[in-house]
């Protein structure tokens, strides 16, 4: 998720450091001021002030992410660190649920886990391989599951529509990079718009020399780092 969310304080269970900092909204000045007359800071607004407030209000100036625009495909990628622990947080995140596709890594689900982790309005595609690993992709129509392709320390899940492919990757810290790149090449559709997202577990100091980035540069991919810190890059979004 590439932008801050607004969380319902009462319903939120908290995802800790998984989410970016949340914004809490409340209080403020109202049209009628403070009916009790005790709070003098909440003055009664005149019509001109009300018009100015309306012009800059979030409701009247929504970011593209919150607008209903059928020409846009909204993709969110997040390291969930246990789907079982955070499925209710996902369902309560109104910003995240604006996505057409939600790619979650580190689901920590075992292959024989048949509990229902569905979200209304989304198809669910699981790639479960056990503790500390795994992928789940939630996708709205017209996206369908194409394949799971796993290897030594990494998982790959691909979904697609007629015009676009989306590939989610989770690579453990010791995952075999060359094998992962080989399998990634094998699932790419030539000359088709492709977005790749996920958690590659790459230290930022290795950004310029890591084999994954060499692969992206060699294939003329445009990529953006969406999250991380000075030690580690968590999420990459790429357009091939």
Q: Give the DSSP letter string of 185-237.
A: HHH--TTSEEEEEEE--EEGGGTTT-HHHHHHHHTT-EEEEEEE-SSEEEEEE
- SS3 for 184? helix
**Which tens digits make up the pLDDT trace of 94-140?**
999 999 999 999 999 999 887 899 999 999 999 999 999 999 999 99
DSSP 137-179: EEE-TT-EEEEEEEETTEEEEEEE-SSEEEEEEEE-TT--HHH
Q: Residue 89 — very low, low, confident or very high, per pLDDT cuts 50/70/90?
A: very high
Q: What is the mean pLDDT of residues 141-151?
A: 97
- Encode pLDDT of 160-218 as tens digits: 999 999 999 999 988 999 999 999 999 999 888 889 888 888 776 665 677 877 777 77
Which are the contacts of 132, defined by CB distance < 8 A and separation ≥ 6? 106, 108, 172
% of residues, the chain, pLDDT over 90: 44
The answer to whether residue 229 scores a pLDDT higher than 80 is no
pLDDT on residue 53: 79
| Residue 42, φ and ψ in degrees, nearest 5 | -95, 75
Residue 226 is predicted with a pLDDT of: 55
Please, which residues have CB within 8 angstroms of residue 115's CB and are 6 or more apart in sequence? 84
Q: Please say if the pLDDT value at position 11 is more than 50.
A: no
Q: Average pLDDT, stretch 83-103?
A: 95
Confidence of residue 54 (pLDDT cuts 50, 70, 90): confident
| pLDDT of amino acid 191 | 84
pLDDT band at residue 69 using 50, 70 and 90 as cut-offs: confident
């Amino acid at each position: 998720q590439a932008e801050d969310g607004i969380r319902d304080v009462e319903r939120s269970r908290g995802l800790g450091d998984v989410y970016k900092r949340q914004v809490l909204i409340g209080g403020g000045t109202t049209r009628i001021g403070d009916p009790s007359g005790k709070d003098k800071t909440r003055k009664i607004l005149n019509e001109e002030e009300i018009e100015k407030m309306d012009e800059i209000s979030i409701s009247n100036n929504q970011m593209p992410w919150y607008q209903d625009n059928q020409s846009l495909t909204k993709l969110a990628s997040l390291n969930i660190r246990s789907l079982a622990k955070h499925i209710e947080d996902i369902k309560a995140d109104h910003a995240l649920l604006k996505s057409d596709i939600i790619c979650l890594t580190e689901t920590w689900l075992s292959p024989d886990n048949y509990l229902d982790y569905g979200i209304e309005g989304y198809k669910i595609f699981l790639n479960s391989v056990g503790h500390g690993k795994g992928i789940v992709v939630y996708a709205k129509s017209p996206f369908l599951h194409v394949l799971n392709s796993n290897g030594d320390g990494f998982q790959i899940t691909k979904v697609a529509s007629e015009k676009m492919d989306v590939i989610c990757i989770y690579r453990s810290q010791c995952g075999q990079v060359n094998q992962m790149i080989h399998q990634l090449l094998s699932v790419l559709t030539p000359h088709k718009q492709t977005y790749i997202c996920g958690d590659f577990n790459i230290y930022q100091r290795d950004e310029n020399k890591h084999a994954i980035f060499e692969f992206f540069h060699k294939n003329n991919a445009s990529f953006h780092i969406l999250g991380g810190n000075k030690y580690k890059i968590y999420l990459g979004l790429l357009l091939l």
